[in-house]
Every structure is written in C-alpha cells, then in structure tokens.
Amino acid sequence: MKALSQKRRHPMAALALLVMALLLTGGLYAVATTTNEAKAETTTYSAQDIEEGQKLFQSNCSTCHGMKAQGTSSGPSLIGVGASSVDFQVGTGRMPMQMQGPQAQVKPKQFNEEQTDQLAAYVASLGAGPTVPDAKDVDIADGNSANGAKIFLANCAMCHNAAGQGGALTRGKYAPSLMGVSEKHIYEAMQTGPQNMPVFNDANITPDEKRDVITYLKTLDNNTTVGGFSLGSLGPVSEGLFIWTIGLVVVIGFTVWLTSRAA
C-alpha cells in the first residue's frame, strides 16, 4: 500500500487510472448488454390450449388488456391481433410489461414456450389475425441475402441502423437491435408491427421477401465483422470516439515515453 500511495503522484498515475476506468466501464457495459435468445416451435392449438390460455390471460394480462382482451385505457384491445403478435410480445419477454413507459422493453421471458402457445391460442381464438410462421417461412437456407439487403435498406435500416444495431425514435422510444433476435420473432415483428413499428403485411413485403430480409440479418449475425472489432457498428460516432480515447491515449503514452529521460 505504501508503494502505491507513493506512486499516486507519478505523472502516469492519472493515465493509468483513466485506462483502468475505461476498461472497467467497457467491461461492465459488455456484460450489461449481452442479449438473451428465445426460441419456440409452432403448433396448432387445441381447445385445451385455448382454455389454459384464457386462465393465464385473465390472471396475468387482464389488468391492462381487460378480462375479455377488449382493451382498457392502459392497454390496447387484442381482438384480431393474432397468435403471431402474442408469440412475439410474450416470447421476447416484452409482455407482460413491467411498467408503463415509452415502449415495452425486452426482458427475461415470464412464460415458458407451452404457456406462450396457450396465450397465443386464446388470443387467436378471439379474432382472426396473423399466425405464427412455421419453420419453412424462416429457413435462411432458402433465402436470398442480396434481395434481403435491398429490402432491409429500403424499409428497415432507417430505424434499425444499416447493420441492424437499432436506433433512436422520438421521445424516448427506440428501434431495438436486431442482432441475436430469432428468425421467427423478426418475421412476427414485420407481420404485426409491435409498438410503434409499422406493419409490413404480405402485400408490402411478401413472405419470400421477409425470409430474404431474415436471411440478410442472419448473414450479419452469423458472420464476424471482417474489419476486426465492430465498435458496435454504429458508424462514424464510435469511430471518432475510438480515436479520441484509445487512439489519443496510446499516442500520448508514446510521446511521454519518447520525451522522458531514461533512468
């Protein structure tokens, strides 16, 4: 400890402290932003599913959406939103919402796959709506990533960023990152337009095109970034920040060494 307290006056002490602080915040940030994945299989629903779903719904969702999913002042009607919407909202942990806010956040799932299916079955029974896509719809082996890139850049990149990293919307809302999101959930999001996202129905982006978009996103997701560290794929801001922090510190380190007297 004594040695340490003596060295605190060393000219490099501030620098060392800064580097340590940067590493610490970077590390914490990396830990804090690890995403969790969710996956579920689609099935057809039995009457029992619907019944179970209704029970789950009434005990977990009715506070906001009403006993018959007719909607209240604090939550929209779910009649006609379809199984796809439920599978997305509940399957990604967005619903049930923790609290009212600008938009529902992704968080650990509250229900397992079976319960999610039951909820979806119940809501689907209330009115016709988009169904959960089956595995064939989202099989990237059949997709065309070049076409997907075109559609993604024209329809999605303005909110979700060209590399699918997400971006800001008005007044605290945001478009989330698409990295690490399952194929099915991407498909469902396009189909149902969760939160403030516009709906991209099959007339706008056909099912084949949706699969192409997913293929492109999975291409970005599966492949490493060729250039090295991606810096979050956020573009010039993170690059500028990099050169002004790490770049500058390294350069200063060398200049200090270079101009100091050898012992």
Partner 1 sequence: MSTSTDFEYRPTTRTGRIANYVDTRVGGSSIVKEFGRKIFPDHWTFMFGEVALYSFVILLLSGTFLALWYDPTMTSMEYKGNYVPMQGVEMSGAYASTLNISFDIRGGLFLRQLHHWSALLFAMAVAVHMLRVFFTGAFRRPRELNWVVGCVLFILAIVAGFSGYSLPDDVLSGNGLRIADAIAKSVPVVGTYISMFMFGGEFPGHAIIGRLYIVHVLIIPALILMMIVIHLFMVVVHKHTQFAGPGRTENNVVGYPVGPVYAAKAGGFFFIVFGILAAIAGSTTINAIWNYGPYDPSPVQAGSQPDWYMGFSDGGLRLMPGSWPFSWEINLFGLAIPLAILLPLIPMAGMFGAMFAWPWIERWVTRDNRVHNILDRPRNAPFRTAVGAAGVTFYAVQMIAASGDLIATHFHVAVNDVIYWLRALYFVGPILAFIIARRFCLALQRKDREIVLHGRESGRIQALPHGEFVEVHEPLDEYRRYKLVDFQDHQVQPARANAKGKITAGEKVRGRLSHLFFEDRVSPVTPAELEAAHGHHEPEPVAVGAGSHASQIEK
Partner 2 sequence: MGDHRDGNPHKSGAVVTSDGAELDQFPDPGLPPHRPRMTDVDSKAAKRAEHQVVLLFLLSVIGSVIFFVAYFGIRVDGPLYDAVNTEPTAQLRLQNLLLGLGIALGMFGIGIGVVHWARTLMPDHEIVEQRHDLRPESERAEAQSILNTIYDESGVKRRPLLRNTLIGAAVLMPLPFVGLLKDLGPTDLKVLRHSMWDEGVRLVRDPSGTPIKASDVTLGSAFHVIPENLTSLGHEEGYLNEKAKSVVLLMRLDPDKVNVSEGRKDWNVDGIFAYSKVCTHVGCPIALYEQHTHHLLCPCHQSTFDLTNECEVIFGPASRPLPQLPITVDSDGYLVARSDFHEPVGPTYSQRDFAVKDMQDEAN
Binding residues for heme c: 61, 64-65, 156, 159-160
Q: Which one-letter DSSP state was computed for residue 241?
A: H
**Orientation of helix 145-155 relative to helix 207-222, angle to 10°:** 100
Of residues 81-110, those binding partner 1 (CB under 8 A): 102
Beta strand 167-168 with 174-175: parallel, antiparallel or unpaired? antiparallel
149, 189, 190, 197: residue in contact with partner 1 (rule CB under 8 A): 149
- Tracing tokens 């690059």 back to the chain, one arrives at 239
89, 116, 118, 145: residue in contact with partner 2 (rule CB under 8 A): 145
222 binds, among partner 2, partner 1, none (CB under 5 to 8 A by kind): partner 2
CA distance to 9, 55, 80, 165, per residue, from 59 (Å): 62, 6, 20, 35
Nearer to partner 2, 53 or 148 (CB): 148
Is there binding between residue 242 and partner 1 (CB under 8 A)? yes
User: CA dihedral in degrees (161, 94, 88, 96; nearest 10)?
Assistant: -160
Q: Which one-letter DSSP state was computed for residue 194?
A: -
CA–CA dist 155, 148 (Å, integer) = 10
Positions touching partner 1 (CB under 8 A) are: 5-6, 102, 145-146, 148-150, 153-154, 157-163, 165-172, 174-175, 216, 219-220, 225-231, 233-244, 247-248, 250-252, 254-256, 258-260
Positions touching partner 2 (CB under 8 A) are: 140-141, 143, 145, 150-151, 154-155, 158-159, 167-170, 173, 175, 193, 195-201, 203-204, 209, 215-216, 218-220, 222-228, 257-258, 260-263
